[in-house]
Amino acid sequence: MSIAVSVQVKPSRLLRALFGLLLLVVALLPLWLMLAQDRAGARQWDGALACGLWLACIAAWFQARGLWLVRELEFTRDGQLFLHGLRDGRQKVVILPGSTIWSWCLVLRLQCVTLEGQMAATRLVVVAMPDSVSAEQMRALQVACRWQQARHIDAGVQKNL
């Protein structure tokens, strides 16, 4: 059996909105705590807590920048998986264990493979939700990912990861 699929995964607006809402809640939490307590009895560490949470929000936003990029996944007929949209153009990748394949959400943990067939240090996450691909592309992507995972697990490729 061979599966050939090429899917362009756009950034999910729903995921971006939920992530932004979460960051907003975390950023406003220290302010709410400072206003909720007695003004005369303000603790010394409130300012440090606020700064720490704000820095964590900024770091989380910069860490999640990769989720907002358009990616193209290509499954070839011979069972190889390629990712387009990286700096190197077309890069061969494998699906790592721990990837989530649900009917409404795909969270693919991918690791790049070098030209020599060795696992590279580069790992990334591609998230596909219903608003980032069409329904028929989502189904084709799910089938191809499940087939790819089963094929690699049966072949023992992922035992060393």
49 & 89 share domain? no
Structural domain for 126, as ranges:
5-11+67-160
Last residue of a domain, one of 23, 42, 66: 66
CA distance 87 to 13: 24
Beta strands in the chain, from DSSP E residues, in sequence order: 5-9, 71-75, 81-86, 89-95, 100-101, 106-113, 119-128
Mind listing the pLDDT tens digit for each residue in 93-145? 888 888 888 888 888 888 888 777 777 777 888 888 888 888 888 888 888 88
Instruction: Indicate if 71 and 60 belong to the same structural domain.
Output: no
Note whether 105 and 136 are same-domain residues.
Answer: yes
97 with 149, same domain: the answer is yes
Q: What is the mean pLDDT of the chain?
A: 77
Q: Over the range 8-45, which residues count as b (16 or more CB within 10 Å of their CB) and which as e?
A: ebebbeebeeebeeebeeeeeebeeeeeeeeeeeeeee
Number of domains in the chain: 2
126 shares its domain with 115: yes
84: DSSP letter: E
Domain stops at, among 66, 84, 107 = 66
73 & 142 share domain: yes
**Are 40 and 118 within one domain?**
no
Each residue's pLDDT tens digit, 5-15? 888 888 888 88
Indicate if 32 and 87 belong to the same structural domain: no
| Confidence class for position 158, pLDDT limits 50, 70, 90 | very low
pTM across the whole model = 0.68
